[in-house]
Chains A and B, each alone.
Chain A
Amino acid sequence: MKALVKVGFLAVVLSLASVAVTGAVLADGPASTSLELVAPAAPAVGQPLTLTAKVTDQAKAPVAGVEVVFWQRAAFLNSESDVELGRATTDKAGVATLDFIPRTEGAVPVSAKFAGNAKYARTSAGAEIDIKPGPQQFHQEKGIHIPGVGVWWLVALMAGVWGTFLWAVRQIRVIFHEGQKVASSEWGRHHV
């Protein structure tokens, strides 16, 4: 009797376990995956940067042909959210790469996410890249610069024109002096 109960109990447990196992296999349909995110060693603002993400399944086999989305956690004007950096598809080796030019300096949290599909579970990984400062990236569209053309033309022109005025005024002085000479001469003293 005791043996029967034991066997029955064992059967129940085993069947439950097998159900559980089966259930686990069925409910957790996609195979679990993992993602490894690699960032380069010395990134700087303005320098192209490559992010690499490798997606593998639980058996460490590469998962090819799936889309990986790369994000940057950005904080701007007291809002913060994930900003999409780009998307890439994994190749035969399960590697997706994204080239981008970072514009944010300092400790930048980046992440790569695989959204998952029927076969594979979603997965993601994050990293913090320390991006060094760089030069100004955005330059305002200036205008056209023609060598030699400038405001100095105006200055030169004005100087020339006013120079002639000064010369003309000097002629008035010449007239004055000449007149004085005549006035103070013998003739002048009698007639002026």
Chain B
Amino acid sequence: MEALRPVDGFRQRLEERAFAPLIKTGRGFYLLVAALLLVVGWGVFAYSTQLREGLIVTGMRDRISWGLYIAMFVFFIGISMAGTLISAILRIAKAEWRMPITRMAEFITVVALLVAPAMISLDLGQPLRMANLFIFGRWQSPLIWDVFGLTTYLVASAIYLYLALIPDLGICRDRLSAAVHPLKRWFFRLFAVEWHGTPGQHHSLARALGVVMIVIIPVAVSMHTVTSWIFAMTLREPWDSTMFGAYFVAGALYSGVGVLIILMAVIRKAFHLEEYVTTGHFMKLGYMLAAFALIVMFFNVSEYVTAGFKLRGESEMHLAQVFIGALAPYYWFYALAGMVLPVLLIAVPFTRNMWGILLAAVLANVGMWIERYLIVVGGLRVPLNPYEPANYFPSWVEWSLMAAAFALFTLLIALALKLVPAVAVWEMVEHHEAKHVTETVSESTPVAEALDGGRLPGAPLRMRPAAGPADGGQK
């Protein structure tokens, strides 16, 4: 491995920490992957049962015809807001503290958007005809809007994730070639697309990131809106609401931040990134979590107070089932433990620490999962004809596939973290060095090339003021 030129140690420490998982794999990781694969495998078996016998193996029937699968779909779509929020919105807001966590957030987005369509496919009665969505798709259908929205958002997030990855892959290619498996070496070389940190490349990269970052925000908002419109475009009482779009965006922001906090805590511990993912990050995200909780609470109050005051049509039955009836335990857990408690945990200084915020995030996500379930099942449970409301209990197939979905989500992130660094090394180094630059030198390429040896091969081509005498070329 080439000798690293010592600077102030920041970069060296960061690269060491960030690249360590790419080089070495501990036994814990193998155990984790094995366990996750087991769960996913069990899910595959459960699905094969469903393919063979039909959806009769689930707990869904004619009265409540959507259940766990759709709730999971909406849940995964919901958590995908994390990436856009942290990467795009905070980048536009020039909130520099976001840098160590952008990549984790983007991973959450991309992987969630890969798992979500899997959940929808599980729900289809004729999954082999899925191509009909593309051959016979009707532009007028909210489900097709959702397909378009999801595809667009997935592609946008993937492009955004990849763009921000390129310089890091360049570093990996240059630094780690000797230390990793040839397959990984090939992966770095291929996907680094000859990144050498030239000013021209930086310029292209910055432009591309800038454009995608702006486009991705309305794409993300539309994505959540059209997902909500799958429900809001029907005539069922609890769904027939004009504010569903905004409600889902708010819920997505909430659950997205929650999942990010959880992932952040796990990765920070597992990869020893305490120096970079600090308590400050937890605090800031905690405040955001509390703010979004309040917004979601506001939507809840808006919806239920306006409906409850009038009690029009089926509202009475729906409010009864949610507040005092069959679904009441779930709703009150969501409202109190999933919305109020996180706000309290973050508002009260005693609990406003890493552990308190982590607990708040976990509660927030459990609460939001319950909320998705309540939207789907509660909405369908309101009878449209005179009969007693039906009840829905997911079967073992549905529970297995839900577990498999979570396992797949975790597995994909875990595997991805073995391929690329968990933090955006290049961005953090750049930011750190920009803060410590006392003199600046022109960055134009001819000058750079003339100063042959004044920088490390493959390193971002920033002119450092105190560059020592020319080394006469590194090996």
B195 and A179 within 8 A (CB): yes
The reply on B33 being an interface residue by CB < 8 A is: no
B474 contacts the other chain (CB 8 A): yes
State which size class the interface on B falls in: 20 to 34
Looking at A162, A167, A179, A188, which has the most chain B CB atoms within 10 Å of its CB? A179
B326 at interface by CB-CB < 8 Å: no
Which of B162, B200, B212 makes the CB contact (< 8 A) with A178?
B200
Tell me, yes or no, whether A137 is within 8 Å of chain B by CB. no
Inter-chain CA distance A182–B192, complex, in Å, is 14
User: Is residue B290 contacting chain A, with contact meaning CB distance below 8 A?
Assistant: no
Which residues of B have CB within 8 Å of A140?
A: none
Residues of A within 8 A of B139 (CB): 151, 154-155
- Among the listed stretches A48-56, A108-116, A169-177, which one makes contact with chain B, having 4 or more residues with CB under 8 Å of it? A169-177
Given known contacts A162-B152, A179-B201, A168 and B211 CB-to-CB distance under 8 angstroms: yes
Residue B163 CB within 8 A of the other chain: yes
Contact A183 B207 (CB under 8 A): no
Mask: chain A, 90-125; 1 = CB below 8 Å from B; 0 = not: 000000000000000000000000000000000000
In the complex, chain A residues whose CB is within 8 Å of the CB of B198 = 178-179, 182
Per a CB cutoff under 8 Å, which of B193, B212, B452, B458 touches A168? B212
User: How far is A176 from B208 in the complex, measured between Cα atoms in Å?
Assistant: 13
Residues of B within 8 A of A182 (CB): 194, 196, 198
Instruction: Give every chain B residue within 8 A of A138 (Cβ-Cβ).
Output: none
Chain B residues positioned under 8 Å from A161 (CB to CB): 152, 156, 215, 219
The answer to whether B196 touches A169 (Cβ under 8 A) is no
Please tell me if B473 contacts chain A, counting CB pairs below 8 Å. Answer: yes
Interchain nearest-CB distance for B350 vs A (Å): 46
Q: Mark A146-158, 1 if CB is under 8 A from B, else 0.
A: 0000010011001
Please, which residues of chain B bring their CB within 8 A of the CB of A173? Answer: 193
B194 touching A174, Cβ below 8 Å: no
- Shortest Cβ distance from residue B148 to the other chain A in the assembled complex, whole angstroms: 6
Alpha-carbon gap, A182 to B452, bound state (A): 13
Distance (whole angstroms) from the CB of B164 to the closest CB of chain A: 12
Q: Does chain B have a CB within 8 A of A1?
A: no
Residue of B nearest to A180 (CB): B194
Q: Which residues of B contact A79 (CB under 8 A)?
A: none
Please state if A175 and B193 are interface contacts (CB–CB under 8 Å).
Answer: yes
Encode contact with A along B382-398: 1 for CB under 8 Å, 0 otherwise.
00000000000000000
Distance to closest chain B CB from A184 (angstroms): 10
What's the interface size class on A, roughly? 20 to 34
At the interface, yes or no: A136 with Cβ under 8 Å from chain B? no
Distance, CA A179 to CA B155, complexed state (A): 24
Q: Do residues B473 and A191 form an inter-chain contact, with CB atoms below 8 A? A: yes
Q: Is the beta-carbon distance between A151 and B196 smaller than 8 angstroms? A: no
Q: B457–A191 contact, CB under 8 A?
A: yes
**Cβ of A76 under 8 Å from chain B:** no
Q: A192 an interface residue at 8 Å Cβ cutoff? A: yes
Determine whether A190 belongs to the interface, using a CB cutoff of 8 Å to chain B.
Answer: yes
Nearest-neighbour CB distance to chain B for A165, whole angstroms, equals: 6
Query: In the complex the two chains form, what is the Cα distance from A187 to B163 in whole Å?
Result: 25
Complex-state Cα separation, A178 to B473, whole angstroms: 22
Looking across the interface, which residue of chain A has its beta carbon closest to that of B449? A187
| CB-CB contacts below 8 Å: B145-170 with A | 145, 148, 152, 155-156, 159, 162-163, 166
CB pair A185–B196 under 8 Å, yes or no, is no
Interface: A164 (CB within 8 A): yes
CA gap between A165 and B200 in the complex, in Å: 20
Cα A180 to Cα B213 with chains together (Å): 26
Encode contact with B along A35-73: 1 for CB under 8 Å, 0 otherwise. Answer: 000000000000000000000000000000000000000
Q: Which residues of A contact B208 (CB under 8 A)?
A: 167-168, 171-172
Whether A168 touches B159, Cβ cut-off 8 Å, given contacts A158-B152, A179-B194, is yes
Q: Which residue of A lies closest to B156 (CB)?
A: A165
- The reply to whether A175 and B205 form a contact with Cβ atoms under 8 Å apart is yes
Q: Given the interface contacts A151-B140, A154-B145, does A165 sit within 8 Å of B196 by beta carbon? A: no
Residue B204 interfacial (CB < 8 Å): yes
Instruction: Give 17 CB contacts A-B under 8 Å.
Output: A154-B145, A161-B152, A161-B156, A162-B155, A165-B155, A165-B159, A168-B159, A168-B212, A171-B208, A172-B208, A175-B205, A177-B194, A178-B204, A179-B196, A182-B198, A191-B458, A192-B196
Interface, chain A (partner B; CB < 8 A): 151, 154-155, 158, 161-162, 164-165, 167-169, 171-180, 182-183, 185-188, 190-192
* Shortest Cβ-Cβ A-B pairs, 5 listed: A179-B194, A171-B208, A176-B193, A191-B457, A151-B139
